[in-house]
């Protein structure tokens, strides 16, 4: 449904509720705010197919900004608040943004304004920025002419060390026309205007952003947590009568670690669907969650690329423990290194056909590498897994050693590239090691120029050095030292040999 229609029918209904502060943005306010910004963007010359970017905390107007781009036929890039200046500048430049929006609390953006024609700041101003509030207030609350649907273009890190933008096709469909995600949620979770959706994660991630926008199309209220805290999440479910929610397994683990009396203090019976994705969920954790919340857990496997959607409900998962589900969008093909299809039970790289196509923005090589080597039009997210006789998919590995920590994808090459140029480092390998709460933690194994330097002081120095150049979550939490790393004479690093030492006695799936 068109946002304007919902606002006309239920103007005073909460569209956004900030769980911490309690601030409410009604559907009327959401519609008017997004219209004003859309009018400003149009006045600045932006037209369908142009691009804006924003770096914001979970702000009350976050979704209004996204809606302004969505209803203007624009591409919009939500940028992680954890990135450093170099990473921010690269993304804004790479996506070709003409407008950048941030808030006064984003020091990285405030201190180093990206090079774009128009920069706006919420809640204050800094050198190089104009006041968002003042500029938006100049414009009417009516829709721009010829509204059409835009789309997000989000970035995920790549093994080459640079973030890659996933650029979907721009439909330019009339504003309000339901898209594939609307149809999918309607089929699987049956949300409606009476639904209340809890979003506990940062809104710059693909799933929270897309689900919040889509839930608004149903006329549902979205409850946004400024920051996830396990007990606060349970309190929000009870206080707002949450019916639908989305999580990552780390959040389940933290809620399960609460004292029993604390967990039982909150009424979560309003929940009809608790969706989780982004990382493999340990089997015991999911079993406990189903026992606690009932068979309302829904799991999916997908990517920012949107080339597939794999899904399982609680009943199917209990019968196929460890699965991420069966294909609802796309069809799966398990291929060996030569591109030959493998039979059920044999692991290989997962490719998907008959789904939406995508490309990596300004990266033909990366786009080509994601395609089926035999040219059948299939694409991969780079994951390794297998399919059982019933068509259920199981993930077994990450082809490029991607680390998943707390539901966030981390590619170790970025940290390796930074640490490799440190004057005291001769060689370095970065990979994920078992972590009971986050699933994986980032570990660096370093061959120092001199083993005399190896020790706690150098470890602290290298971690601090990495954090000067990259977001902290991408940097190692610990560093071990070796006299020599296992490399082939050709220069190939045998990272698997190192990683296997740390995973001995652990299962990557758990």
Q: Which positions ≥6 away from 264 have C-beta within 8 Å?
A: none
Res 509: pLDDT: 40
Give me the mean pLDDT over the 298-314 stretch.
92
Give 254's pLDDT tier (boundaries 50, 70, 90).
confident
Distance CA 320, CA 298 (A): 13
Query: Is residue 88 within 8 Å of 35, Cβ to Cβ?
Result: no
* Homologous superfamily, domain 404-503: ANL, C-terminal domain (3.30.300.30)
Q: Look at residue 397 and tell me whether its pLDDT is greater than 70.
A: no
Question: Which two three-digit tokens encode residue 335?
Answer: 């291929």
Strand runs (DSSP E) across 414-477, as ranges? 425-435, 439-448
- At 280, phi and psi to the nearest 5? -60, 135
Res 399: pLDDT: 64
Give 51's pLDDT tier (boundaries 50, 70, 90).
very high
- In total, the chain counts a number of residues equal to 510
Give 385's pLDDT tier (boundaries 50, 70, 90).
confident
Res 490: pLDDT: 37
Question: Which two three-digit tokens encode residue 89?
Answer: 């500048």
Res 481: pLDDT: 97
123-127, 161-165, 335-339: which has the minimum mean pLDDT? 161-165
Whole-number Cα distances in Å, 129 to 65, 92, 133, 366, 453: 17, 15, 12, 34, 45
Among the listed residues 15, 19, 13, 40, the one whose alpha carbon sits nearest the alpha carbon of residue 30: 15
Q: Look at residue 400 and tell me whether its pLDDT is greater than 90.
A: no
Q: 480-493: per-residue pLDDT in tens?
A: 999 998 864 434 56
Query: Is residue 474 within 8 Å of 157, Cβ to Cβ?
Result: yes
Q: Which fold does the domain 3-144+184-275 belong to in CATH? A: Rossmann fold (3.40.50)
Among the listed residues 295, 332, 343, the one whose alpha carbon sits nearest the alpha carbon of residue 317: 295
Share above pLDDT 70 across residues of the chain, in percent, rounded to a whole number: 96
Q: Look at residue 372 and tell me whether its pLDDT is greater than 80.
A: yes
- At 441, phi and psi to the nearest 5? -120, 150
DSSP state of 325: B
In what helix (H) or strand (E) does residue 470 lie, and over which residues does it extend?
A: none
User: Domain segments of the chain: what residues?
Assistant: 3-144+184-275, 302-398, 404-503
Res 510: pLDDT: 39
Would you tell me which CATH number, out of the four given (3.40.718.10, 2.30.38.10, 3.20.190.10, 2.160.10.10), belongs to the domain 302-398?
2.30.38.10
Question: Which two three-digit tokens encode residue 70?
Answer: 């969505």
User: Sheet harboring 151-152: ordered strands across?
Assistant: 130-131, 118-122, 99-103, 51-55, 75-78, 151-152
Query: Is residue 453 within 8 Å of 394, Cβ to Cβ?
Result: no
Q: 170-193: per-residue pLDDT in tens?
A: 988 999 998 889 999 999 999 999
Among the listed residues 439, 433, 322, 317, the one whose alpha carbon sits nearest the alpha carbon of residue 385: 322
DSSP state of 362: T
Q: 1-14: per-residue pLDDT in tens?
A: 799 999 999 999 99
């Amino acid at each position: 449904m068109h946002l304007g229609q919902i606002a006309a029918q239920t103007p005073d209904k909460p569209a956004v509720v900030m769980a911490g502060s309690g601030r409410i943005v009604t559907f009327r306010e959401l519609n008017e705010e997004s219209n004003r910004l859309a009018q400003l963007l149009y006045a600045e010359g932006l037209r369908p197919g142009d691009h804006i970017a924003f770096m914001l905390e979970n702000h009350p107007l976050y979704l209004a900004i996204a809606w302004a781009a969505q209803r203007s036929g624009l591409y919009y890039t939500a940028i992680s608040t954890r990135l450093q200046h170099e990473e921010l500048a690269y993304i804004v430049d790479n996506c070709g943004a003409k407008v950048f929006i941030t808030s006064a609390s984003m020091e990285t953006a405030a201190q180093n304004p990206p090079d774009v024609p128009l920069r706006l700041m919420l809640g204050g101003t800094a050198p190089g920025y104009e006041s968002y509030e003042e500029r938006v207030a100049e414009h009417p609350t009516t829709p721009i002419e010829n509204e059409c649907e835009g789309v997000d273009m989000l970035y995920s890190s790549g093994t080459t060390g640079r973030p890659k933008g996933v650029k979907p096709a721009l439909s330019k469909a009339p504003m309000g026309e339901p898209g594939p995600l609307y149809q999918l949620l309607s089929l699987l979770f049956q949300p409606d205007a009476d639904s209340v959706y809890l979003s506990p994660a940062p809104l710059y991630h693909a799933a929270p952003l897309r689900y919040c926008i889509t839930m608004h199309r149903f006329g549902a209220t979205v409850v946004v947590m400024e920051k996830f805290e396990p007990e606060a999440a349970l309190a929000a479910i009870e206080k707002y009568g949450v019916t639908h929610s989305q999580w990552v397994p780390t959040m389940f683990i933290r809620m399960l670690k609460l004292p029993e009396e604390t967990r039982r203090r909150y009424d979560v019976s309003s929940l009809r669907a608790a969706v989780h994705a982004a990382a493999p969920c340990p089997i015991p954790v999911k079993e406990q969650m189903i026992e606690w919340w009932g068979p309302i857990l829904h799991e999916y496997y997908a990517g920012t690329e949107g080339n597939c959607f794999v899904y399982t409900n609680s009943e199917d998962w209990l019968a196929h423990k460890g699965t991420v589900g069966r294909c609802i969008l796309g069809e799966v093909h398990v291929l060996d290194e030569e591109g030959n299809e493998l039979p059920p039970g044999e692991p290989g790289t997962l490719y998907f056909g008959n789904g939406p196509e995508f490309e990596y923005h300004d990266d033909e090589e990366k786009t080509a590498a994601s395609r089926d080597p035999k040219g059948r039009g299939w694409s991969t997210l780079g994951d390794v897994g297998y399919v059982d006789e019933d068509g259920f998919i199981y993930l077994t590995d990450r082809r490029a050693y991607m680390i998943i920590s707390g539901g966030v994808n981390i590619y170790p090459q970025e940290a390796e590239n930074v640490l490799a140029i440190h004057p005291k480092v001769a060689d370095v390998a970065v990979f994920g090691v078992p972590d009971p709460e986050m699933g994986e933690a980032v570990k660096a194994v370093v061959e120092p120029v001199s083993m005399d330097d190896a020790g706690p002081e150098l470890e602290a120095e290298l971690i601090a050095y990495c954090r000067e150049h990259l977001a902290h979550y991408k940097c190692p939490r610990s560093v071990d030292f070796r006299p020599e790393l296992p490399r082939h004479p050709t220069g190939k690093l045998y990272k698997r040999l190192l990683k296997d030492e740390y995973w001995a006695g652990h299962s990557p799936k758990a």
